[in-house]
Amino acid sequence: MKNAVMILIFLCTLGMARAQDFTGDWSGELSVQGMKLPLVMHISQNDNVFVTTLDSPMQGAKGIPTGTTTVNQDSITVTIPAIGAIYRAKMVNGKLSGTFTQSGMSLPLELSRGADAMVINRPQEPKPPFSYSVEEVSFKNPKANNISLAGTLTLPTGVKNPPVAIMITGSGPQNRDEELLGHKPFLIIADHLTKNGIAVLRYDDRGVAKSGSYIPEGKKDNTSYDFADDASAALDYLLTRGDVIDPKKIGYIGHSEGGLIAPMVAAKRKDVAFCILLAGPGVDGKEILLTQSRRSGELSGASTEFLDINEKYSKQIYDLVIASPDQLEEKLKAVLNDLKEKYPEAGKALDEKTIDAQIKSITSDWMSTFLSIDPADHLTKVKCPVLAINGEKDFQVLPDINLKGIEAALQKAGNKDVTIKTLPDLNHLFQHAETGAFEEYAKIEETFAPEALELITTWLKKRF
């Protein structure tokens, strides 16, 4: 969903007839579980070559590269390997009428000429000029081949050496604003805190935007431990900035996976002044994913039978990944093929390519590490003040089991300054929501609930 690389892939088509009818901008809406997802295709032609790129405005993705664009008389086929999708359509009365297929699911998609897309209103997003100082900064991580991480340091006006919050994004590659679905929650939080006398450092994840990329030798991707090293490097950088901030009042605000990473750093460093955990996990990754999947299915109307089947096989898969036995991929394929055989309806989307993609994802270094991390191993060593909050309608990190897990671990640590709260009616992004389901995220204009902003600010100002 994030930051598609703007690359055009040029491949020859099978036919040239009526090609001029297909060039230009095309837009329409894909209906996914009641949510309207605007899509825009840009099709151009150079001699015998067609070029297509895809935009998903609601997801903040532009220039998604495609594979082959094949034109044959009045038909067009566009493959989109970056998201595992294919669009097949015919020209009917000046429109492209066809089917968008992804992950075994086929949905109708009609495109009309023009690049019209849904206007996304984000009323909370601040616009310059700002009433505070904005400084572009960079710092290096010596534990990651000395890569440079780029960020923004916002400093309140008229406050000498303020406390400072380092922001840590959730899972997946994200920029310094934690931008997704047209929302920029970290920008909103940073703006609010800085206006209230608290400096904020937010930075692009490694490999995203202006930050450098590094994957340790022998690994396929980065893990939560690697990102914890980046967060620790951010703290080291701020310790050199006693000219503008108070080095004794530096802490973390982590969202989702960031709420796991913050305690990982604080458990090792006594110079972390505070941790604010926004929908942070309090149970291991396996439990997070199992409960998340079940709640997501409930919100989408899936039957109890389907949810039970999904949970049964998911447990088998996660246990295999955690154990990491010999011939892991073959054993995972056996589990998925068993699902297809015994429950054809549940496994109808599992063709060979989908199974291969699922196995590649589940065996990544990040996933295998996340599944086995127990937040308590780190939280039980955290002595600094902690604020842990969740939205009542969070389906990704269920508030009840996770906040209880965090509280129990911090009690075991003997931590005397712990605040735990569940905020009514808020989802995983801390938006006011009807159900908390994923498909609501983009439709909601609010980016971050005012009461959550006020709680964070009041809690910090009371202590610093």
All structural domains of the chain, each given as residue ranges with its CATH number in brackets, are 11-113 (2.40.128.20), 133-284+373-463 (3.40.50.1820), 286-370 (no CATH)
Q: Are strands 199-203 and 250-255 parallel, antiparallel or unpaired?
A: unpaired
3-state secondary structure of 87: strand
> Are the beta carbons of 1 and 83 closer than 8 angstroms?
no
Q: Give 29's strand partners.
A: 38
Please name the residue ranges forming H helices in 239-276. Answer: 258-266
The model's pTM:
0.81
pLDDT per residue as tens digits for the range 7-63: 222 222 222 333 336 888 899 988 876 677 889 998 887 766 788 989 888 776 778
Residue 382 has pLDDT above 80, yes or no: yes
Which position has the higher pLDDT, 349 or 80? Answer: 80
pLDDT at position 22? 84
Residue 373 has pLDDT above 80, yes or no: yes
Cα(106)–Cα(428) distance, integer angstroms: 28
> Are the beta carbons of 130 and 188 closer than 8 angstroms?
no
In DSSP notation, 31-69 reads EETTEEEEEEEEEEEETTEEEEEEEEGGGTEEEEE-S-E
Q: Are strands 24-32 and 35-46 parallel, antiparallel or unpaired?
A: antiparallel
pLDDT at position 439? 78
Q: Give 12's strand partners.
A: 49
How crowded is residue 133: how many other Cβ atoms within 10 Å of its Cβ? 13
Q: Which of 162-166, 199-203, 259-263, 305-309 has the lowest mean pLDDT?
A: 305-309
Cα(74)–Cα(434) distance, integer angstroms: 43
> Are the beta carbons of 123 and 105 closer than 8 angstroms?
no
Q: Give 218's strand partners.
A: none
% of the chain exceeding 70 in pLDDT: 92
% of the chain exceeding 90 in pLDDT: 70
pLDDT at position 18? 33
Count how many Cα atoms sit within 13 Å of the Cα of residue 191 in the half-sphere of its side chain: 17
For residue 148, what are its two tokens? Answer: 């440079």
3-state secondary structure of 456: helix
Cα(50)–Cα(8) distance, integer angstroms: 10
Average pLDDT of the chain, as a whole number: 89
